[in-house]
Structure 1
Amino acid sequence: MAKLDGVKVIDMTAGKIEKVAYEGAEYVFTQETPKVDDIIRTDGAWSGTVEEGNFYKCVGLDVDGDAKIVTDRDNVTQHYRKHYEVFRKVAIQDPTIEARVGKLESDVATLKDEQGPTSKFKAGDKVRGKRCGFVYTLKSRRPDRDSYGAGLAWTTEEGAVYGWIGENQIELVDEKMLEVGDYIVPLPSAEKCCVTNSDMLLGKVADKTSAYIEIEVVAHKKEGKVGERYAPVAAKHFRKATVEEIVEAKVAMKPKFNVGHYAKVVGRTYLGNIKTGAVVKITKDADDDGDYKIELLDESDHDFAQASSLEKIDADKAAIIDKWAKIGREVDEYKEGDIVSGPGRLSGKFFAGEVDSVGEVLVVRRLDGGFDTMSASKATLIAPVESRVDRN
């Protein structure tokens, strides 16, 4: 409620208003302390948008007993008693002609508003600002602010920046709350979040508590951010991602390969010639179907694969990974019975022996029957246990 429309002056003495009519009731000037529902006539000195001579309803009192009103910007404010006049409702049996006319005009104005332009929203709707991303609850129509650009105007429960917001500037909010497992994208308001912003292309709700959610980053402009977890974040700064947004974000995060790059096969290949785990080299750019031509490092075979079936690896690590992949193991994956060599951690000397137990530190039985240890990362595999002919 801001400025009251339809207030009629029905009694004035020497230029001073003594009585007014509003919605069929009369209000008389009083010097008493204001009360809630009194009509307040301001002198324009109030903070906020308040014009001199306008009438407002008293909606509350401050600690000093001064009236509080809702200004033309829909913010509640108060001022010293000397900056307003108070008019109090009086009980009357037979309303004056002026009062009846005022009530009739108010009813006509209401009827015109109801029969005015059709709104696509209704009071109580939850809407989101298209540019700011903030969520509002529509309160009431504001016909005096309707415009071609902004559309039909509404006041909001939360108080919009200018006291109103146009229908062309908002969209309905999906009432369904975000749930664990939902893919989400940030709203413009996420730019001010302390943990993430629009650099996150796609996230996933990992957990939730009330109005806050924990986010696992699925796609990000910075590759190093993928997989990070943010908590807690206000859910209002995010919305559920569309199917198109999920696909686009995942495609954007797929590794891009060029001829000469090395990769490890982690999925299906087109011909099936090269199996999962093999190290390959990209020898031809992706074709129209998105398939790259790949070859084994020794050039003994080739195949085709999608980017999703390949895991990019550094060139200087390709040969090492390939050596271990050929025996079906990860790098530095040792087994009991392997023959290894390397510097002993106990003796400090270089020796060879059989692996007795595995871990980050290998326990090795020396050729002389004693035991020593060596770091798995510094050991050299001489013969895997599977290739030893002295064992069954």
Structure 2
Amino acid sequence: MAKLEGVKTLDMVNGEITKVAYGGAAYERVGNVGEHGDIALRIAKPASFAEVGQFYPVVKEFEILRFIDDEGEKPSVHADRFVFFRKVSAPANPSVEERVAKAEGEIESLKSDVAALKGEAGYKRIGKSEAQAGDYVKFIETNDSSITVGKMYEIVNIDYEGYLDFIDDDGDKNCGVSSEVFEVYCKVSAASVEAEPKPERWKVGDYAKVVGQSIINEKGDIVKIIQDTGGNVPFKVESMDGKSTEWRSEESLVRATDEEVAEAKRAAEFAKFKEGAKVRLKSGGGELPLNGYENGKVYEILYTHLQRNRIGIIGGEITMGFATPDQLEILSEEEAVEHKKWAEIGREVGEYKKGDVVRYDYGDNEICEVVDDTEDGRVEVQTKDYGICREKPDTLRLVTPVEARFDR
């Protein structure tokens, strides 16, 4: 097998590996353009001969860049399936900036260790709904120049809409909004932080929050773990709507809280309701805010409002009704087409009238005439051999409505 064993991660930025060690040498990430002698991390298109999350040696033969796969073959490299790492040598005389950065990192580490030894406070991540004044908010992603990503801001107030107020870097009151990615922490003693068990490794079926670089899923998105290869980029994750998958490193994910998972599931379910779609009202009809709308009938979605958990529908006796997702059933494309056909002649689906020409939808498909309107869930039709029969509407198909018959 040509996959490289013993590759160690040395550095990461936003959850993405930027530097590794292999064979006693350091390798830095150089992007999607490789050279002979690089090592390449497979990031997409898993195959029987090359695993996603594993490193492979890169060679150049006859001016074609290739990698040595798990079967010993040398297929050509597809740039969209790999990122490349190039060997670097440690500088004999590191720059002042490099030495200062190294010293600062060591100082911060020592501060953290001293605080732990003294029993000083640490931070514990909590759900946003658990936040109280005196807790802290930390931003993962924001476009607000008055907020520093990664800095802890003390919450000074929680307003009536649930926004977390804090004092920003400019000394002004600010708050986290839905377009930003942030987490909430409470201050706890170092002893209680240390006493907390180390989180278990994610299992297939668990949910995580993306904190690394945006690829397919954005920072802050909740994803589901669907595969774990155990490699350098071990986790295959699926978006909450099930429409997209991607591979993620362990460092690019954090464990999602129950509150975050529940909200993500609600948002994914809500997203199924599209403007202009046809829905059947299942419950709540005849009562505010659905007075003028009847259970079992089909209506059209005018707009949706996730934050208020309501969906505006039209087509009832009043201008608009408001329903929640659990009160509505989305019609299939086939059902929507059928509903449109009936609506064009001013009827509900299966609403037959005296004089309609219909066809049996089973047996010999006999064509008959409706002799009595729909009543008690049945339609009376005149058959050739059996006289008048009372049939269920769903066993018949409308051929010609009475209003369109030329023989009348």
User: Shorter-chain TM-score category?
Assistant: 0.3 to 0.5
Larger Rg: 1
- With a CA cutoff of 8 Å and minimum separation of 6, indicate the structure with the bigger relative contact order: 2
Relative to the length of structure 2, the TM-score reads 0.32
